[in-house]
Structure 1
Amino acid sequence: MNTLKEKLKKNEYRNWVKGTLGLERTNRALFEYVKAKFVLFTHRRAGPRAHFTEDVYNHIHPGSSCIRRDLKQKLSYDKKDKRWIWKNACTKCEEAFKTILSIHTNSSKTMIHLENCQNTTNVTLEWAIARFFMPKRNDKNMGPDDTDPAAMINLLMNCRLFTNPIRQRYLNQLRKARNKLFHSSDNLVNDNVLKNYFYNMKGLLTDASHDTEVDNSIREVITKDIETIEQLEEAEISMTLFDDALKVKRKAIYEDYETCLQDNDIEQLKVLLKLAENVAADLQFMNDHSEELKNVKIYMTKIEQLQTKKEELEIKLQNTTEIARRLDAKDMIIIVIVTIGLALLLKLCLYFG
């Protein structure tokens, strides 16, 4: 197996770093956008797009409303009719729950995890609602900053607020990219795959930036984030970025590990444990050999500079050869003209001699 020192020399490893950090940056670029969309959903009071009446909104807005506490005791699922049943006497919270269900792309029991919403007394109303669309283990999610790429992608896919402005193919491809990047055993990504990852990242954010429901300031921020991601795609990778990417992967592995633990998925747990061990070893290696790895980076940069100079010299040589070839051709023409001129002059001398 290649050591981290050997892998750092590979272009494919640097591609993995770019893909991992690009996905993390894409996720962060969506924070304010997603929050703004849920604010519109909860707070819009008038017009055909208003979802809650004034009475319902005023009732559910405080953290003390019954839809915000002990939710699992107030709902049951009818397996025969495949629908949720509100069991509590509060009709305003029942109406709010039905409204939330209406924007879920798949409101089945398997897609809604009530444990996420069991207690939302300490978060804003919009984020209490957002948690209905997240995968398992988001019961402590306090806002966008706590939302990892997997949770964010699932939220966007499960909520109708986003299915019109954002094309599903970008979300599907980025969900696959997330799992491939974070579950990779060798952290190697080829150029074409990386190009595809960044195409989908930029496509998703471009769609979000074109959403006319949110204000210009949010769209402008997303546009700047797209530019940042484009710069990352072409950037030189520093040792700090290697370290950042490994830490992002470590966090994602532990989150997946907790999910598999709840599902009793023993085989996947073994795979994740091995990945966690590899990441830990790589991070420890970087910590123990930071100076040596800096030298590796310096040498890599020098080699790239030499390669660039070599290519520049080859281009100059080709240009010089071409010029010489053209000059040779001109010289031959001059020689022929001079030769013909001398021959004519000689004939004239002989004729009049």
Structure 2
Amino acid sequence: MAALSILDLVRVNGETGPKGALDHARAAAAHAEGLGYTRYWVAEHHNMPGIASAATSVALAHIAAGSSTIRIGAGGIMLPNHAPMVIAEQFGTLAQLYPGRIDLGLGRAPGTDQMTMRALRRSLSNSDNFPQDVLELQAYFAEAEPDQRLQAVPAAGTNVPLWILGSSTYGAQLAAELGLPYAFASHFAPDALMIALEIYRARFKPSEQLAEPYAMIGVNIIGAETDAEARRLATTQQMSFANIFRGARGLSQPPIDDIETYWSPAEKAQAANMLAHSIYGSPETVKDGIAALVAQTGADELMVVSDVYDNDLRLRSLEIIAESLN
């Protein structure tokens, strides 16, 4: 069976505020560690009031400090937004503080709108340099050469493992060429999942970091005591998708009894496509759904998004998901 990991969106709602969201993420990582999850990742999102992980490396330091063994990482850093040296400095520092526990997933998309990109002092053309930026970043994490004049201190020698993230075949090809593990964002962009996995496995070239292809897929999973309750909890995520289509960047909302009263038919259809690989249900439904998805994809690892409004119910969802593999 595939390994289980967690992608936390660090959702902010009207009750928690940003600090509460970050504290919940820290507590959830410690809880996940006890449940046997492999890694706990957060992602870089800017200009979104409902997500508290914009300063991703800072958020990860807070989360890592509350646990002891679970791997902590970015899923991911949008590399076109940054100079590779700065990211190496940040994640090299994390690796020094939490040795053997840090992952760095890298995305090619800016992950935001053009206005925010300008505020970040970046441009769309930076995406064209993504392969070179990945190699530059990899070099900063390697052992420093004698008399090497340019170093990303204290990254040298930490060998932080890199992952390529993607929602198309581009990332699959690059991960295969560089011999890196590959994470596909099927939790919001499932259309190219199977072809991307096929390309990645067929073209994979072994590297110092990885001898054989290793594929992770994102999946939305919400576990509850009954199928009906899980579907109700899932309306929080469904409303978030509807709001994205509307250009509304608000806080996370509590679940509602009937999602049909919230979204339009067009929004429903668009969300249904993006959420196609989602599992909402009772322990038995979750178990069966995970088994079917792994059988279909051959994924080595599932990166679970369990977007539940109430923190206690989210922790219970994570328990149900972990128990499904027993």
Query: What TM-score does the superposition give when structure 2 sets the normalisation length?
Result: 0.27
More helix, by proportion:
1
As a proportion of its length, which structure holds more strand? 2
Give the structure-1-normalised TM-score: 0.25
Bigger radius of gyration among the two = 1
